[in-house]
Structure 1
């Protein structure tokens, strides 16, 4: 890159990293935020409501894509990603200043939801504007490399949000952090906000948009134009499939595994955060590398390799993480046979988004105990009769002490329901070099690598299949629908599936099957776009007409 190109990419990447830092920060603080803004409810309901508030940021992303992408194609790329940056920054700082429900009652969660909606709208508008802007500055033979610095900031922001929380908590103590220190990571966002706005304000509009503006060829109705012909609709459907497929491995490797290790595997929260800080920091450079490789060999091979490896290796990697991170739990899951026998009419679906249902039947109580302690179990349906759980050779039958007896049987069988003494633990910097900790980080890094191999090339491909006049609109809407709906709901869906089938590992079939189906569709529909002259992409007939790639360096 020359000096000007470094400025364009750097300014865009810094602003994008800041926006994703804010978005991930809320997700990592869900337990604390639940207690502060939904304090009148039970502990479980607090978490449910906090997660639903987090999900609000995902649900509005398609709306943000329509609103801001239209402005991007009509007003300009630079203006929109300045607007979205300011919206994200102000709403993030506002979260750090909000009074709690104890202070102002129901108004507190209403204000919190409002801030989350603004964050979701901002981050959805940011992606389309920023990736379009950088792509239109990049030379054709290095477009993937340029976009990789932007796309990779998702991983970098995840790492930075974890790092800030660890530093603040270490500086003021856990008790102070839970009481008032949780506000600090939100409030210090004002510093990078000011820096990012200043840097981005010094940029010029993208040359392709300036040319289009000078020729008076900007679209008057980009959304209508995007849906004006079947080839364009077809290409948007392909982008939707591509965005959905890459979001599955993206959210499994981050949000789901982060939550799984802290809950089901019983790993200390500080340990998990410390490992993810390193893994996601390396993930930033893996994304840049994957995009650079796609400039050489093509977008399709790298994208397909990432999805294919994720499909084939998902189960072995997650099972290996389980056996290494918590060997005691791994042995119990492999050796102890557990069967739940109950009348199906007494077993409720273990999903309570309103936080109001009471699961009081013995079947529900048994499933809650088994699920909470990561017990792998089979189900046998009975036509009437009382609930019974077989743990190895021991049968725990219905009785006034059913819960106590079941927990006791699990402990005797080898399940570490009171905490494992064999799980990995990071208490100092030196513990990061423990062979088992390094092994788990290596396995997590494999999942992150597959995600970056899919995410990076997918982002630049979306730019390369649509014409300049409707590019931001045509790519943003299907992308945000795919990522927002399938990616955003993935953790909750997998938890519900795991509870229903009796195994959190069995729940992995959901993303594996979805990725395999998406990969199959993309193999037969996605064109190769490496080296495309994006100033003249046209869609004619039934396929995307991609101009001959510009001459590549030997």
Structure 2
């Protein structure tokens, strides 16, 4: 079985460049807005951590708020199951229209929510509930957008085209930071901390309506339409993805050999770094957010660069280099950040932050194309979404909480790095042992053969 035979097929007639641009724009803008919604909570956790819980220990309130942030990651795999099945049975387009509406509604409600002083214990309950809805929605969004673009892309440009979507997670975080900084500067610190922090949440309603208008004009994926026309859809995508040994084995190796390390690397370089700067190094809010924002702006084009390079030189070697460089770079880079902060050298701090994010782009840039090529089309939405959100949601999403807890428990400001070093290193080893041949790996071949047999019988 060659890589061509197991990858999402290019359309026989080709796709016009103008149509392809519209497809990428519609998918990417919607996904960027969903990531903005998802991450605005994390970006503002330090600001509102005491508003939805009883007064008391500020550190405890922050850790509980970050834990609530983590609950959104725990349910992402559940969202992957629910919306993955919908995407593989009903269609890619209808599914990520649904996820967009759920995400936008939950985020807008976060901006309207009363504090603990007004509604008591209902405040933290509502906070967690809305966070769970966000997690469910993002669990179905990313996989759908990846699959939709991949199934409309010619094979020789799939890495480059899907890598545009990979910029949306960083773009969403960058947008959230930009909106927060703008509101903070415009309103002043006192007004922002009192009520102005709600504005970034409420802005979601406007952004979602804009994205919804674009997505309503999209057509269904040609690969899905062909499977529906020929009667080759999976009758039970969840069962086919997890109940059969070959496909379940593929799911496991993708989680432990790609997405766990990807998720931890991503959240270490962006969210944990933000908490590290503010809570450990005591850098002021604006300096920390602006520094991370600058690093993201500089590094974001590398997502597309490494996506393009993966079309020419293969996905596996670039992803592996990113995992290895990330694991090896945490301790020296965070030590560098700490040294720069102590000496008030923001330039050095931004440089270290940028290098760290570039390592992540090596993993993340080619990953969308890589994952879409690994999973059979009949279970692609379900399998890809599950693997991605178990890895990035569970392993990655709790990175800030685990790392900050290790710092608190040991008193060592760099102790939190034990977790990301271990996870990315283990992921690199599993990757080499199971997926180094990419779509031609035996484990991928067996999964495709099993799914083809199930859906044709």
Question: Aligned in 2, Cα 1:541/1:24: closer, same or farther, shift over 3 Å?
Answer: closer
Q: What is the distance in 2 between the residues matched to 1:218 and 1:190?
A: 35
Q: 2:42 aligns with which of 14, 17, 27?
A: 27
Q: What is the distance in 1 between the residues matched to 2:216 and 2:443?
A: 32
Of structures 1 and 2, the one scoring higher in RCO (CA 8 A, sep 6+) is 2
Q: 2:143 aligns with which of 99, 123, 128?
A: 128
Q: 2:279 aligns with which of 254, 259, 263?
A: 263
Shift of residue 40 of structure 1?
A: 4.2
Shift of residue 76 of structure 1?
A: 0.6
The answer for the alignment partner of 1:212 in structure 2 is 227
The answer for the alignment partner of 1:92 in structure 2 is 107
TM-score (norm 1): 0.75
Shift of residue 188 of structure 1?
A: 1.5
Question: Aligned in 2, Cα 1:460/1:528: closer, same or farther, shift over 3 Å?
Answer: farther
Deviations 1:181-201 (A, max 9, x none): 111111111111111000001
Q: What is the distance in 2 between the residues matched to 1:45 and 1:303?
A: 37
The answer for the alignment partner of 2:347 in structure 1 is 438
What aligned pairs does 1:57-96 form with structure 2 within 5 A after superposition?
Answer: 57-96=72-111
Deviations 1:43-75 (A, max 9, x none): 333323322221111111111111010101001
The answer for the alignment partner of 1:278 in structure 2 is 294
Shift of residue 515 of structure 1?
A: 1.5
Task: Structure 1: give runs of 5+ residues left out of the alignment.
Answer: 328-423, 425-435, 546-554
Deviations 1:270-319 (A, max 9, x none): 11111111211233211111111111100011101111111222222111
The answer for the alignment partner of 1:311 in structure 2 is 327
Partner SS for 1:189: helix
Q: 1:457 aligns with which of 353, 366, 375?
A: 366
Shift of residue 266 of structure 1?
A: 2.1
The answer for the alignment partner of 1:516 in structure 2 is 425
Q: What is the distance in 2 between the residues matched to 1:316 and 1:49?
A: 29
Deviations 1:337-366 (A, max 9, x none): xxxxxxxxxxxxxxxxxxxxxxxxxxxxxx
Partner SS for 1:115: helix
Question: Aligned in 2, Cα 1:517/1:30: closer, same or farther, shift over 3 Å?
Answer: same
The answer for the alignment partner of 1:254 in structure 2 is 270
2:170–2:296 contact (8 Å) kept in structure 1 = yes
Question: Aligned in 2, Cα 1:253/1:286: closer, same or farther, shift over 3 Å?
Answer: same
Shift of residue 238 of structure 1?
A: 1.3
Q: What is the distance in 2 between the residues matched to 1:29 and 1:510?
A: 24
Question: Aligned in 2, Cα 1:506/1:543: closer, same or farther, shift over 3 Å?
Answer: farther
Q: 1:223 aligns with which of 238, 242, 253?
A: 238
1:92–1:186 contact (8 Å) kept in structure 2 = yes
Partner SS for 1:218: coil
The answer for the alignment partner of 1:236 in structure 2 is 251
The answer for the alignment partner of 1:488 in structure 2 is 397
Shift of residue 466 of structure 1?
A: 1.2
Is 1:505 equivalent to 2:420 in the alignment?
A: no
Question: Aligned in 2, Cα 1:104/1:229: closer, same or farther, shift over 3 Å?
Answer: closer
Question: Aligned in 2, Cα 1:2/1:496: closer, same or farther, shift over 3 Å?
Answer: same
Shift of residue 33 of structure 1?
A: 2.6
2:170–2:300 contact (8 Å) kept in structure 1 = yes
Partner SS for 1:165: helix
Q: What is the distance in 2 between the residues matched to 1:239 and 1:261?
A: 32
The answer for the alignment partner of 1:427 in structure 2 is none
Bigger-Rg structure (1/2): 1
The answer for the alignment partner of 1:325 in structure 2 is 341
Question: Aligned in 2, Cα 1:157/1:210: closer, same or farther, shift over 3 Å?
Answer: same
Shift of residue 527 of structure 1?
A: 4.6
Higher strand share: 1
RMSD: 2.1
The answer for the alignment partner of 2:376 in structure 1 is 467
Q: What is the distance in 2 between the residues matched to 1:146 and 1:6?
A: 9
2:250–2:447 contact (8 Å) kept in structure 1 = no
Deviations 1:79-107 (A, max 9, x none): 11100001000111111112222222222
Q: What is the distance in 1 between the residues matched to 2:310 and 2:338?
A: 33
The answer for the alignment partner of 1:396 in structure 2 is none
Task: Structure 2: give runs of 5+ residues left out of the alignment.
Answer: 1-15, 451-457
Shift of residue 146 of structure 1?
A: 1.1
Q: 1:180 aligns with which of 195, 199, 202?
A: 195
2:67–2:401 contact (8 Å) kept in structure 1 = no
The answer for the alignment partner of 2:213 in structure 1 is 198
Q: What is the distance in 1 between the residues matched to 2:416 and 2:103?
A: 34
What aligned pairs does 1:33-52 form with structure 2 within 5 A after superposition?
Answer: 33-52=48-67
Deviations 1:145-173 (A, max 9, x none): 11111111111111110010111111111
Q: What is the distance in 1 between the residues matched to 2:33 and 2:216?
A: 15
Question: Aligned in 2, Cα 1:8/1:538: closer, same or farther, shift over 3 Å?
Answer: farther
1:223–1:473 contact (8 Å) kept in structure 2 = yes
Q: What is the distance in 2 between the residues matched to 1:446 and 1:271?
A: 18
Question: Aligned in 2, Cα 1:540/1:288: closer, same or farther, shift over 3 Å?
Answer: closer
1:467–1:538 contact (8 Å) kept in structure 2 = no
